[in-house]
Amino acid sequence: MSDTRGAKDPHPTLRDVAQQAQVSAMTVSRVLRDDPRVLPATAARVRAAAAELGYRRNEMARSLRLGSGTGLVGLVVTNLANPFYSRLALGVDAVVAQHGLKTVIGNTGHDVDSERGLVADLVARRVDGIIVVPAADDQRHLAAAAAGGVPVVVASRPPNGFAADCVLVDDYGGARTVTRHLLDAGHRRIGFVGSPPAVYTAAERLRGFTDALADAGLKPEPDHVRLGPQETEEAGRAAAELLDLRQPPTALFCSNNRNTIGAFRAIRGAGTDTALAGFDDFELADVLGLPLTIAAYDSDELGREAGRLLVGRLGEGPADSGSASGPPARRVVVPTSLVHYGTPGPV
């Protein structure tokens, strides 16, 4: 019998590193993603063990779940035609690729049945985890996937009816700040063009808009609010209706970049000097030639945060509302900032 003591395993796993360092696999996972909660001495011992065994960071994908994962992460979004989702996807991929994982993207077209089918297919293909932008409040299929042991991270909208990690934008705060800016500029008739109120982001941005008006002692005029548009053509028609009113708004606030582009076209077509504000920055916004204020945020960072949450969850187990079966669900909120383009015109 040959003596294999001291021989180095050509494919060491996270468990091997944990055994060598005399810590848990969860602690190894935390050290490898630079979790500041790990004591420096423990982190040093884990890194020394990894170096001694020849553990490579790109092996992490197979070992994070301490099983035989496929090395694939599912990303489910509602509208790939919207640049927001392509940037989010790039952010996700930038993080998970560092751990040897590859991203598989599915588009639902805002249809919950399509989302349900995509999630079922990803689970059947044994993806290591799923990041999803939900199409609706009905998230029972996501809850089922999570209950079945597939880590789920929800992006842009919060989980509904189950515990899961999520990353959100400060939708309410951004919309409230933009509306206050329009009010401070002297506007009192402000129109709103938003997505369906059943969409979480749209509802939060409408709430921020309404509360900013209330702070100024105003109420939104029902005739000045158009809810429903999700594509530029629909938003253009809605904005044109507002501009055609007997007393049209002197400014328009749009709840996403698609609506802002549609409203821009309507303003240009009407030949007015209506001020324009929106949520989500977009390419060429600086050359439109209109006074334009945007609640901007880093959509790549939204994706990166979602990727970090998923990679962290792969090493820790399913999210939990407080029992010993897993760490509590985490929520990360990406901040917004005001970006101004063009020269403000008269009110």
Phi, psi dihedrals of residue 158, rounded to the nearest 5° = -80, 160
SS3 290: coil
Contacts of residue 91, defined as CB under 8 A and 6 or more positions apart, other chains included, come to: 299, 300, 301, 302, 303, 304, 305, 306, 307
User: Tens digits of per-residue pLDDT, 229-250?
Assistant: 988 999 999 999 999 999 999 9
* The pLDDT of residue 242: 97
Topology given in CATH for the domain delimited by 171-296 = Rossmann fold (3.40.50)
Beta strands in 135-201 (DSSP E): 152-155, 165-169, 190-194
CATH number belonging to the domain at 72-169+299-334, selected among 1.20.140.10, 3.40.50.620, 3.30.750.24, 3.40.50.2300: 3.40.50.2300
With cut-offs at 50, 70 and 90, classify the pLDDT of residue 138: very high
Closest CA to 169 of 179, 155, 152: 155
For residues 292 and 342, the answer to whether their CB atoms sit within 8 Å is yes
Three-class DSSP category at 159: coil
Q: Which string of b and e fits 57-83 if b means at least 16 CB within 10 Å?
A: eebbbbbbbbeebebbbbbbbbbeebb
The domains of the chain are located at 14-55, 72-169+299-334, 171-296
Asked whether this chain's domains 72-169+299-334 and 171-296 adopt the same fold, the reply is yes
Among 136-140, 162-166, 325-329, name the one with the lowest average pLDDT.
Answer: 325-329
Q: Is the pLDDT assigned to residue 4 strictly greater than 80?
A: no
Q: Which two tokens stand for residue 56?
A: 């490579």
- The model's confidence at residue 343, banded by pLDDT at 50, 70 and 90, is low
Which H/E stretch holds residue 340? strand 337-341
pLDDT confidence of residue 282 = 87
Q: Model-level pTM?
A: 0.76
